Chains A and B, each alone.
Chain A
């Protein structure tokens, strides 16, 4: 088996595709944690987003006929973002208003994301594991052979954008203040609760977007458990990226590369596929162990705020 240019090009594009959902989710997680709320529910929210996108597109196709509807995948994306935001809102209400342990409340949502899709799928399709395939997937932008989903471009554009929002706008300053020292921020007249709600809901919207990318960009249906730990990997990437957009870009690229390598090696005789699949997870553990020393989380993260 020789590794020729085609292999490396395929690996490069595969890396970009694999990075996209991680990057979107990790940026979301960054907004949430910068505001002081840990959101490990992102894993489940990706699933809810993917389910929404796949089911909405399929249902519309079911009523209007399959014929190409260029607007339809975007409707799927929007509804996935909406549902992602709503699910995140549940986490926000329980952990901000009712001061629940943020990890437990988020775990509840992850558990919900294991069970609820099956109920919805059984309701619509009579099976518990996957939705019907859709025709109207997200388009591919770019020249023949090198085309990528628009969400890929969007994800990478979001990096400078969220850097600007976080570090150059009053909103970003407030968000960071609330995550670092909510008491001080409150004294200055910043509404701590509102900023936290915004941070968490924003993370849900972005994770929903990542889910939509998986369901109607990467594949053409919802498959049970399709997020496969991406939400958790994104959080590890966010920690590794030191809660900073640029750091997150590089760390998600690393994880994306690990996943892409795993995919490219499948079916070859270099390494067995079952072991290669574990590659990104091993990298996550190593990264968390090896490089944690110097990264510092927002000071008030995980702590409910009480006026």
Chain B
């Protein structure tokens, strides 16, 4: 791309970014040393503070702010000038690194200023403190400089284009977040009184920043962290269920229905099948997968046999499954043409719920797995670690690795079990999080997806079906049968999500309840797209949405903004990814991407020859 080598273009881009940075420095608070519960904060800015109580908090000094502000100004001026000097890319790269250092300095000085007031006090005097958008803008501009520096050095565009699987989702996330910020600003009056227009801006921008800080707060708080893993568990399953369909050229919007059927089957086995734990628990899990799989295979078969479009059929089957679900657990007496039918499933009482799952069929809580009997056990962490290492790090043939992985896992489990563990007490905050063994099942499902789709002949055929159905059929794939199989596996993955809710007691009880949040099946679409239908991507995307959903609760609690903000963000992300993040065509079209990469490669070679 000749234009990208253009220095003028680089200068303009840097100037634009610098302008935005300067504007944010002026309009947004740099730091918030203290925040009231309603969200109004003590907003510090070199251009004038916003102080809810008229003065700075007693004992707090804002001198550090000037120590950051003047170097920042000088740094910004430097970047703007350097962009117009010869060979700017390397200089801008250095300036980007410098900016990161500047941000780190800001962070440290701010933390020190707060710690100095809080030190020695019984309860922290300054609470809910954090840096403000102004400081984060410094960070963002530094990253922007690093990006530009890479983009304008040889092979820069190809560098990004090759990573388009990461670039497009992240860019879409960024766009959706920006739009989400506008939505928050419109929907919510900022707390606090503003004297000037700049102060009003400061309050609004701080509100948006605080909303996002709360949304991502589970990253830095232990119980929120566990909660985010809890919410990620079903999303991993449903995300994989949708992703598998996409890989095979089918759009599975039926995950909610498949999840419901899985939940019903898990309940039936878990409540009514007597027997020991080693038999009943695996059977209950299997039943969930099987029921979901069959419910998924139905639209697959309808498509293969009658050409009925799977999108509408899976949606219809969602509604039918929901009816069936309510039929089973909302009442025990039904009238059919004057006759009465009696069902045994509903637990007596007002609420629509089943009987309790027998203790033998329950998936253990995370504390039981990590610290059985109150003593920390290294068995499971070590097993996981060695298992993954054994599979991914051995340089052997696939067969060896498949054997080595589980073997290493078993060794890890045994060795870890022998190691003595200290007694631990996690405290009520952490133990009340209902994260359970279904999370491990979800990790296994990710592994299964990776193995089946990318390492087996069946998975190869599946991907061939998705990329070029006609060619795949010509190559010997039995398209109809494959379609049913894909939908069966996708349905089974969605059905397994139910193990988390029913067998693992993921909501609040070990039962099948009317509150079963089966709409996570739809969230699976966003997860699959965000994760670009790869197992690692799906895992990370599910976790991201788990974080946002957990944080959404805090946003609702502290700011009174509906939790559905997260649902809107998800929808926007899907929309933007569908549009390729509005990025140039060579990011979305594989052929054009290859073209760019080739062209950049040859240019790089030319330049190398010119400068011996």
Contact = CB atoms under 8 A, between A and B. Distances in A.
Interface of A: 1, 40, 90, 94-95, 98-101, 103-105, 107-109, 111-112, 114-116, 118-119, 122-123, 128, 228-229, 232-233, 235-236, 239, 269-272, 274-275, 277-278, 281-282, 284-285, 288-290, 292-293
A269 B525 contact: no
Interface in B321-353: 323-324, 326-327, 330-331, 334-338
**Which of B309, B324, B337, B580 is most buried by chain A, counting CB atoms within 10 A of its CB?**
B309
A282 B320 contact: yes
Contacts of A118: 562, 564, 567
A40 B575 contact: no
Contact of A98 (B302, B320, B582): B582
**Which of B327, B526, B574 is most buried by chain A, counting CB atoms within 10 A of its CB?**
B574
B183 interface: yes
A233 B312 CA distance: 8
Contact of B567 (A104, A115, A232, A275): A115
A119 B565 contact: yes
A119 B315 contact: no
Contacts of A292: 306-308
B570 interface: yes
Given A40-B312, A285-B317, 19 more contacts: A40-B311, A95-B578, A98-B580, A104-B525, A107-B525, A109-B571, A111-B574, A112-B568, A116-B568, A119-B562, A128-B562, A272-B331, A275-B323, A275-B327, A278-B323, A288-B313, A289-B306, A289-B308, A289-B313
Given A111-B522, A284-B316, A101 B309 contact: no
A229 B575 contact: no
B331 to A, nearest CB: 8
Given A285-B313, A289-B306, A94 B578 contact: yes
Contact of B572 (A40, A112, A284): A112
A103 B579 contact: no
B315 A107 contact: no
A105 B579 contact: yes
A98 B579 contact: yes
A120 to B, nearest CB: 8
Nearest to B298: A285
A108 B302 contact: no
Nearest to B585: A99
A111 B306 contact: no
B485 interface: no
A285 B580 CA distance: 33
B311 A285 contact: no
Nearest to B589: A99
B324 A278 contact: yes
Minimum-distance CB pairs A-B, first 4: A115-B567, A278-B323, A108-B575, A111-B571
Contact of A229 (B306, B313, B319): B319
Contacts of B522: 111, 114
B208 to A, nearest CB: 15
